[in-house]
């Protein structure tokens, strides 16, 4: 039976917490920087990072570690810090690169600036 008084469930939760808790800072960093990107109007970057974290980092590492190694369920738990650390690194690279700083959202009623002859060249 699954419930809060199940000793097996409690033991598994303790194992998960011991693996994931030291990496909560990387998860927080990803969330904060994705918020920065979204707030700056670069929602596509935030979405790309979130999708990459899940589909390119977490799911493959969970499958590989749990099925191809002796870790079993521990491999699934380790996929969380792996994905969060990879996404944090990607966020920091994107933050340093800076294309998110361009103003992508214009205030209502403001038109796109017309190209001048000098800027067209």
b/e burial code for range 58-69 (CB count within 10 A of at least 16 → b): beebbeebbeee
Look at residue 120 and tell me if it is in a domain. no
**pLDDT level of residue 119 (50, 70, 90 thresholds):** low
Given the structure tokens 């294309």, which residue do they identify? 99
Specify the number of domains making up the chain. 1
> Quick one: pLDDT at residue 39?
87
Look at residue 14 and tell me if it is in a domain. yes
Which is more confidently placed, 88 or 42? 88
**pLDDT level of residue 6 (50, 70, 90 thresholds):** confident
Domain range for 50 is 7-99
Look at residue 110 and tell me if it is in a domain. no
> Quick one: pLDDT at residue 79?
96
Look at residue 104 and tell me if it is in a domain. no
Look at residue 60 and tell me if it is in a domain. yes
Look at residue 71 and tell me if it is in a domain. yes
pTM: predicted TM-score of the whole model, two decimal places: 0.75
Count the helix, strand and coil residues of the chain and give each as a percent rounded to the nearest 5: 75, 0, 25
> Quick one: pLDDT at residue 50?
93
pLDDT at 121 over 70: no
């Amino acid at each position: 039976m699954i419930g809060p008084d199940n000793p097996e469930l409690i033991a598994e939760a303790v194992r998960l917490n011991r693996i994931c808790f030291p990496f909560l800072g990387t998860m927080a960093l990803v969330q904060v920087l994705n918020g920065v990107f979204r707030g700056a109007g670069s929602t596509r970057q935030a979405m790309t990072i979130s999708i990459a974290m899940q589909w390119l980092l977490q799911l493959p590492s969970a499958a590989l570690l749990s099925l191809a190694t002796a870790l079993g369920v521990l491999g699934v738990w380790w996929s969380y810090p792996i994905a969060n650390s990879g996404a944090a690194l990607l966020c920091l690279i994107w933050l340093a690169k800076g294309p998110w700083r361009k103003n992508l959202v214009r205030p209502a009623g403001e038109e796109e600036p017309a190209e001048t002859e000098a800027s067209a060249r």
